[in-house]
């Protein structure tokens, strides 16, 4: 396997702890250990031995409870959603398969499919139709050689949500050719409305759903994710996990149970923060409406802007990082040049200052 360079993660890993204002983050403001821990003294009694490879049954039962049609044995705990995506694809795809990736998308799945020797077909959401899916284009791309369709619901980087009808149409297209669906639902629960976006879970026999605690729950540092799907696929993924992380982190899994038991409150927190801070970004963008275009995000603390400044996205972001100590994500890292992904889930003072830094840079370009 030869992995293509994952440009976005390399950039963020290099700079996120060095810049003053990180607006590249796509989740909501992180919780502290004190905020998530019910009883620190009880946590101190936790024995730091190996956890169960698949994850504790109690933890898996809580995750199954938010995925229709599944039980604890249909769930595996992973080290972040990134490992979940890795194991899901690595256990499904072999060289010569075709993988359809609905774009734009978190480029991990695109890179993984390429590294596994698959032929990747891209089907793009339509920006001119507010980043909605072109189901005719998807139907044309999927064929008997398609092993998997990769979809991010809600979408990263656009923040848009597939409707119930669109989700069902994707399932129907996959079923027609015996293809699997790998649905990254790590942003599910971060909708601006109180209505949770439709899940792919429970809609068929060839569906793997991945998720985790990083984006909605405000707990990225726990590095906890999961795969939900048919038990034989969980077993197949476990055989690969034996070569990677082996088991979850014991303390992280203990805190995961606390978080999932408080899921309702944590989702309410995420939606409050998103609805409180989106107007700050929207008002800023309105001041640049001559050169920026955007569709307001339906979910997630991210917005994907197209722009008309005479500079490509990577040089723009590179200047922003080096000259103004502020980071956002260049569209080229999603294969969407002349776009920028800006997060707004961070503390308001960071968001304000980061946007002001962008303004200072743009005055030198406009």
CATH number, domain with residue 126: 3.40.640.10
Of 262, 293, 328, which marks where a domain is finished?
262
Of 236, 262, 288, which marks where a domain is finished?
262
Contact (Cβ atoms closer than 8 angstroms) between residue 180 and residue 207 = yes
Residue spans of the chain under pLDDT 50: none
User: Are 354 and 223 part of one and the same domain?
Assistant: no
Report which secondary-structure segment, H or E, holds 226.
strand 225-228
pLDDT score, position 41? 81
Domain count for the chain, please give it: 2
Residue 1 in domain: no
User: Are 132 and 250 part of one and the same domain?
Assistant: yes
Residue 75 in domain: yes
Residue 338 belongs to domain with CATH number: 3.90.1150.10
What confidence tens digit (pLDDT) does each residue in 188-227 have?
A: 999 999 899 999 999 999 999 999 999 999 999 999 999 9
pLDDT score, position 277? 97
What DSSP character marks residue 27?
S
pLDDT score, position 40? 79
Of 214, 245, 262, which marks where a domain is finished?
262
pLDDT score, position 248? 95
Q: Average pLDDT, whole number, for the chain?
A: 96
Q: 3-class SS at 75?
A: strand
Q: 250-253: long-range contacts at Cβ-Cβ below 8 A with a sequence spacing of 24 or more?
A: 250/46, 250/47, 250/48, 250/49, 250/50, 250/51, 251/43, 251/46, 251/48, 252/222, 252/223, 252/224, 253/51, 253/55, 253/56, 253/59, 253/77, 253/224
User: Are 177 and 55 part of one and the same domain?
Assistant: yes
Range of the domain at 102: 43-262
pLDDT score, position 237? 98
pLDDT score, position 1? 81
What is the pTM for the complete model shown?
Answer: 0.96
pLDDT score, position 43? 85
Residue 204 in domain: yes
């Amino acid at each position: 396997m030869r992995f293509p360079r994952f440009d976005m993660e390399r950039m963020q890993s290099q700079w996120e702890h060095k810049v003053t204002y990180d607006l590249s983050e796509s989740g909501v403001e992180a919780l502290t250990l004190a905020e998530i821990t019910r009883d620190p003294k009880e946590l101190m009694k936790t024995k730091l031995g190996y956890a169960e490879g698949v994850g504790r049954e109690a933890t898996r039962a809580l995750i199954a409870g938010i995925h229709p049609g599944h039980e604890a044995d249909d769930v595996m705990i992973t080290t972040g959603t990134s490992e979940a995506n890795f194991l899901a694809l690595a256990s499904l795809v072999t060289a010569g398969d075709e993988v359809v990736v609905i774009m734009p998308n978190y480029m991990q799945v695109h890179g993984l499919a390429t590294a596994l020797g698959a032929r990747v077909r891209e089907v793009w959401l339509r920006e001119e139709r507010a980043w909605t899916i072109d189901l005719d284009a998807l139907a044309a791309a999927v064929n008997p050689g398609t092993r998997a369709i990769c979809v991010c619901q809600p979408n990263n980087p656009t923040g848009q949500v597939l409707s119930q009808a669109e989700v069902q149409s994707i399932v129907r297209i996959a079923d027609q050719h015996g293809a699997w669906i790998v649905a990254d639902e790590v942003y599910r629960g971060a909708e601006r409305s109180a209505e949770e976006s439709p899940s792919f879970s429970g809609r068929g026999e060839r569906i793997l759903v991945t998720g985790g605690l990083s984006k909605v729950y405000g707990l990225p540092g726990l590095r906890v994710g999961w795969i939900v799907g048919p038990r034989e696929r969980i077993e197949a993924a476990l055989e690969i996990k034996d070569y990677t992380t082996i088991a979850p982190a014991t303390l992280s899994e203990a805190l995961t149970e606390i978080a999932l038991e408080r899921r309702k409150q944590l989702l309410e927190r995420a939606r409050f923060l998103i609805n409180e801070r989106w107007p700050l970004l929207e008002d800023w963008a309105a001041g640049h409406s001559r050169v920026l275009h955007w569709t307001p995000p339906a979910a997630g603390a991210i917005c994907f802007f197209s722009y008309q400044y005479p500079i490509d996205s990577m040089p723009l972001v590179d200047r922003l990082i080096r000259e103004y100590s502020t980071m956002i994500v260049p569209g080229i890292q999603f294969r969407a040049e002349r776009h920028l992904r800006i997060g707004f889930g961070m503390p308001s003072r960071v968001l304000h200052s980061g946007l002001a830094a962008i303004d200072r840079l743009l005055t030198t370009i406009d």
